[in-house]
Amino acid sequence: MSEDAAGDRLAPGDAFAVLGNENRMAILRALGESGGTLSFSTLYDRVDVADSSQFNYHLDRMVGHFVERTADGYRLAGAGRRVVEAVLSGAVTERPTMERTPVDEACPYCGAPVAIEWQEDGVGVFCSECAGRYSRERAACGADDAGYLGRYPLPPAGVRGRDSEAVLGAAWTWANLEILALASGLCPRCSATVEWGATLCEDHDAGDGLCDACDGRYALSARVACTNCILETGGEPVVGLVAETELLALLTGEGLNPVNPASVHRMEAVHGDYEETVLSREPLRARYTFAVGDERVSLTVDGDLSVVERRREAADAGH
């Protein structure tokens, strides 16, 4: 096996080659389900391999990276644990079916009922009346009469055993834990640093709905990419601001839990419907104002969504 510049880390091609065998995946799963260390004979008994020499060959191929050999036997290494977690989450093996279903939540823009459905790797949210947050063309399920409010990433395991209300709550929590990490400069997939950027719609005119030029409600759109892995995502500017202490204090001070809210609608009313003021184009500066109850927080950002000014005031105070 070759090694990359990191030293004893497997090169990506070698890592995929090691995992590209059902016997090796069976070994990893058996170790994962054991929750600890297994002797050679016990592990062999739990994996359906024709003979011990073949079993030993496949096991040796993983020792040192995916599996650790100890005095008591074998156990998962960190990399092996991540592989088993991905498999058991259903992310690489399952595609659940969840047709569009109404939930007891309201659109943050018009107050109309919303519905959710399972999409490729998450939960899509749709308004029954208004244009939503993004153009219908962005919805993975295709265009229809519903306004598209966005998608929350959620592994297939998040759908199992939950009704539609619980699925929406789980998706919100899962998504916002990821967004909090990204907004803190940390990739939720590999823990490397991320880089943020903002794009300004030069001809922005959302009126009472979506801008024809950019298909969004806000003039700025945010993009974030990991400096190490393939994670790249984006959305409205709020995705880069959710970890700001002032915004978190505003939410928690009004009894709102930004990670596990009792009402997704109340959180969406803050995270989804806020004021945007483009202060300058060169250099790019924009101010975002969030209001909860009688309090408001204004955050001014530059072109990479770094906050350059913070202000908290009463909701009826001037800007």
Of the chain, the percentage scoring pLDDT greater than 70 comes to 88
**pLDDT band, very low/low/confident/very high, at 7 (cuts 50, 70, 90):** very low
**pLDDT band, very low/low/confident/very high, at 92 (cuts 50, 70, 90):** low
Domain assignment present for residue 149? The answer is no
Domain assignment present for residue 6? The answer is no
CA torsion 223→199→106→99, rounded to 10°? -50
Q: What is the mean pLDDT of residues 112-129?
A: 89
Instruction: Give the pLDDT score at 5.
Output: 38
Instruction: Give the pLDDT score at 143.
Output: 46
Instruction: Give the pLDDT score at 268.
Output: 83
Domain assignment present for residue 7? The answer is no
* Per-residue burial over 153-179, b = 16 or more CB atoms within 10 Å of its CB, e = otherwise: bbbbbbbeebebeebbbbbbbbbbebb
pLDDT in tens, 188-207: 988 999 999 999 999 999 87
Of 109-123, 244-258, 297-311, the poorest mean pLDDT is in 109-123
The domain of 55 spans 12-89
Last residue of a domain, one of 89, 120, 145: 89
Q: Which residues pair with 193 in a beta bridge?
A: 186
**The token pair that represents 79 in the structure block:** 């990399």
Domain assignment present for residue 105? The answer is no
Answering whether pTM is above 0.85, one says: no
Domain count for the chain, please give it.
2
**The token pair that represents 310 in the structure block:** 């913070």
Q: Which residues pair with 85 in a beta bridge?
A: none
Instruction: Give the pLDDT score at 101.
Output: 93
Domain assignment present for residue 272? The answer is yes
Domain assignment present for residue 184? The answer is no
Q: What is the mean pLDDT of residues 264-284?
A: 89
Instruction: Give the pLDDT score at 52.
Output: 86
Mean pLDDT of the chain: 85
Type of residue found at 195: E
Domain assignment present for residue 43? The answer is yes
Last residue of a domain, one of 89, 106, 135: 89
Last residue of a domain, one of 89, 107, 123: 89
CA angle at residue 121 from 118 to 122, to 5 degrees? Answer: 50
Length of the chain: 319
